[in-house]
Amino acid sequence: MEWNYYDTFITVAPDCPAEYGIAPPDKKSGKTKPGIEFELVAEQPYVYTQEELLFEVHARHKGIPEEEFAEHKEEFYKKPTACMRASMLPKKYGWGIHFNAEGKLALIPRESPEYQRFLAGEVENVKIVPAMRNSRK
Protein backbone atom coordinates (compact mmCIF):
# COMPACT_ATOMS: atom_id res chain seq x y z
CA MET A 1 0.00 0.00 0.00
CA GLU A 2 1.39 3.39 -1.03
CA TRP A 3 0.95 6.14 1.58
CA ASN A 4 3.27 8.75 0.12
CA TYR A 5 2.58 12.10 -1.51
CA TYR A 6 4.63 13.32 -4.48
CA ASP A 7 5.00 16.90 -5.75
CA THR A 8 2.41 18.03 -3.21
CA PHE A 9 2.12 20.92 -0.77
CA ILE A 10 -0.12 20.60 2.28
CA THR A 11 -1.22 24.05 3.43
CA VAL A 12 -2.07 24.85 7.02
CA ALA A 13 -5.65 24.08 7.99
CA PRO A 14 -8.16 26.88 7.31
CA ASP A 15 -8.82 27.08 11.05
CA CYS A 16 -5.18 26.80 12.19
CA PRO A 17 -4.72 29.13 15.18
CA ALA A 18 -0.96 29.72 14.66
CA GLU A 19 0.02 32.82 12.68
CA TYR A 20 3.52 31.47 12.14
CA GLY A 21 5.29 28.10 12.38
CA ILE A 22 5.99 27.17 15.99
CA ALA A 23 7.63 24.13 17.55
CA PRO A 24 5.15 21.88 19.36
CA PRO A 25 5.73 21.92 23.12
CA ASP A 26 6.77 18.80 25.01
CA LYS A 27 4.68 17.37 27.82
CA LYS A 28 6.07 16.61 31.26
CA SER A 29 5.99 12.94 30.29
CA GLY A 30 8.13 13.56 27.19
CA LYS A 31 7.77 14.29 23.50
CA THR A 32 4.37 14.35 21.81
CA LYS A 33 3.78 12.88 18.35
CA PRO A 34 3.78 16.38 16.77
CA GLY A 35 6.96 17.14 18.69
CA ILE A 36 8.67 14.04 17.32
CA GLU A 37 7.44 14.81 13.77
CA PHE A 38 8.76 18.35 14.06
CA GLU A 39 12.11 17.29 15.47
CA LEU A 40 12.74 14.69 12.77
CA VAL A 41 11.68 16.78 9.78
CA ALA A 42 13.04 20.15 10.92
CA GLU A 43 16.45 18.60 11.55
CA GLN A 44 16.40 16.51 8.36
CA PRO A 45 14.34 18.12 5.58
CA TYR A 46 13.71 15.96 2.51
CA VAL A 47 15.03 12.81 4.20
CA TYR A 48 11.78 11.02 5.14
CA THR A 49 8.82 9.94 3.04
CA GLN A 50 5.43 10.07 4.74
CA GLU A 51 5.50 6.28 5.28
CA GLU A 52 8.97 6.41 6.83
CA LEU A 53 8.12 9.36 9.03
CA LEU A 54 4.85 7.90 10.29
CA PHE A 55 6.56 4.68 11.33
CA GLU A 56 9.58 6.45 12.86
CA VAL A 57 7.28 8.68 14.92
CA HIS A 58 5.21 5.68 16.01
CA ALA A 59 8.31 3.73 17.00
CA ARG A 60 9.86 6.60 18.97
CA HIS A 61 6.57 7.48 20.66
CA LYS A 62 6.05 3.86 21.74
CA GLY A 63 9.70 3.39 22.71
CA ILE A 64 10.30 0.53 20.26
CA PRO A 65 14.02 -0.34 20.09
CA GLU A 66 15.59 0.02 16.65
CA GLU A 67 16.51 -3.67 16.54
CA GLU A 68 12.77 -4.49 16.72
CA PHE A 69 11.72 -2.11 13.92
CA ALA A 70 11.45 -4.82 11.25
CA GLU A 71 8.94 -6.93 13.18
CA HIS A 72 6.86 -3.89 14.17
CA LYS A 73 6.88 -2.28 10.70
CA GLU A 74 4.86 -5.02 9.04
CA GLU A 75 2.21 -4.83 11.76
CA PHE A 76 2.16 -1.02 11.65
CA TYR A 77 1.51 -0.89 7.89
CA LYS A 78 -1.40 -3.35 8.14
CA LYS A 79 -3.50 -0.81 10.05
CA PRO A 80 -4.99 2.37 8.57
CA THR A 81 -3.07 5.45 9.68
CA ALA A 82 -3.89 9.14 9.34
CA CYS A 83 -1.78 10.96 6.76
CA MET A 84 0.17 14.18 7.27
CA ARG A 85 -2.92 16.22 6.35
CA ALA A 86 -4.20 15.20 9.79
CA SER A 87 -0.93 16.05 11.56
CA MET A 88 -1.02 18.76 14.21
CA LEU A 89 1.89 20.50 12.44
CA PRO A 90 -0.35 21.99 9.70
CA LYS A 91 -3.53 21.86 11.80
CA LYS A 92 -2.33 23.64 14.93
CA TYR A 93 1.31 24.73 14.73
CA GLY A 94 1.46 26.70 11.44
CA TRP A 95 3.58 24.46 9.22
CA GLY A 96 3.02 23.72 5.55
CA ILE A 97 4.44 20.42 4.33
CA HIS A 98 6.14 20.07 0.94
CA PHE A 99 6.66 16.66 -0.64
CA ASN A 100 9.17 16.64 -3.50
CA ALA A 101 9.20 14.40 -6.59
CA GLU A 102 10.77 11.59 -4.54
CA GLY A 103 8.06 11.85 -1.87
CA LYS A 104 10.48 13.27 0.71
CA LEU A 105 9.04 15.98 2.95
CA ALA A 106 10.08 19.28 4.49
CA LEU A 107 8.34 21.79 6.76
CA ILE A 108 7.62 25.27 5.43
CA PRO A 109 6.56 27.92 7.99
CA ARG A 110 3.36 29.71 6.99
CA GLU A 111 4.93 33.16 7.44
CA SER A 112 7.77 32.45 4.97
CA PRO A 113 8.07 33.75 1.39
CA GLU A 114 8.50 30.12 0.28
CA TYR A 115 5.10 29.21 1.76
CA GLN A 116 3.52 32.15 -0.08
CA ARG A 117 5.07 30.98 -3.38
CA PHE A 118 3.55 27.52 -2.93
CA LEU A 119 0.19 29.03 -1.97
CA ALA A 120 0.20 31.35 -5.00
CA GLY A 121 0.90 28.43 -7.34
CA GLU A 122 4.30 29.83 -8.32
CA VAL A 123 6.02 26.48 -7.82
CA GLU A 124 5.40 24.39 -10.93
CA ASN A 125 4.02 20.86 -10.90
CA VAL A 126 2.99 20.93 -7.25
CA LYS A 127 -0.50 19.94 -6.19
CA ILE A 128 -1.88 22.05 -3.32
CA VAL A 129 -4.07 20.36 -0.70
CA PRO A 130 -5.22 21.79 2.62
CA ALA A 131 -4.61 20.15 5.96
CA MET A 132 -7.73 18.78 7.58
CA ARG A 133 -9.72 21.23 9.67
CA ASN A 134 -9.59 21.09 13.45
CA SER A 135 -13.36 21.29 13.74
CA ARG A 136 -16.16 19.85 11.64
CA LYS A 137 -17.83 23.20 10.98
| 135 within some domain | no
| 107 within some domain | yes
| 93 within some domain | yes
**12 and 20 in contact (C-beta within 8 Å)?**
no
pTM of the model: 0.91
| 23 within some domain | yes
| 102 within some domain | yes
Would you write out the chain's pLDDT as a tens digit for each of its 137 residues?
577 999 999 999 999 999 999 999 999 888 899 999 999 999 999 999 999 999 999 999 888 888 888 888 878 777 877 889 999 999 999 999 999 999 999 999 999 999 999 999 999 999 999 999 987 76
| 1 within some domain | no
How many structural domains are present in the chain? 1
Domain with 36 in it = 8-130
| 136 within some domain | no
| 41 within some domain | yes
**93 and 35 in contact (C-beta within 8 Å)?**
no
Query: Pick from 78, 87, 56: which is nearest to 69 by CA?
Result: 56
